[in-house]
Amino acid sequence: MIEVGIKRGNFGGTYRFIVKNVDYSAYTAKIYVQSSGGTMLVNGTDCTVSATDNAQNTLVLYTPASGQFGAAASTVDYLAEITFLGAGFRDSTETFRWQVFDELRG
């Protein structure tokens, strides 16, 4: 399982995800991040989707907005999901852990 980390309060940096062995470049994608208790930090924010150079993988770009991982975010692991949507249906999801932490990692 993929693990992603962000320092609480950070925003504006772009996260890159590669979904291997599938080309979702014709799809749209949304990202969701929520705690095990149901607290939603990111609720369906749009991502940029494109094919990789060999068109066998999908590149997904997500830029956290101000406040999404702000002071209200607990320093715990969250469940994250990228959902790919095409022609009015949900085709696939990729799930992973997203950790919010207080200190920069060295």
> Which CATH number belongs to the domain containing residue 28 in this structure?
2.60.40.3350
- Say if residue 20's pLDDT is above 80: yes
61 φ, ψ (degrees, to nearest 5): -115, 135
User: In terms of residue numbers, what domain contains 9?
Assistant: 3-100
Specify if 51 maps to a domain. yes
pLDDT in tens, 71-87: 778 888 899 999 998 87
pLDDT in tens, 47-67: 999 988 777 888 999 999 998
Q: Are 57 and 74 in contact (CB under 8 A)?
A: no
Specify if 40 maps to a domain. yes
- Say if residue 46's pLDDT is above 90: yes
What does the alpha-carbon distance between residue 98 and residue 11 come to, in Å, rounded to a whole number? 14
Domain count, the chain: 1
Alpha helices (H) in the chain, listed in sequence order: none
- Say if residue 89's pLDDT is above 90: no
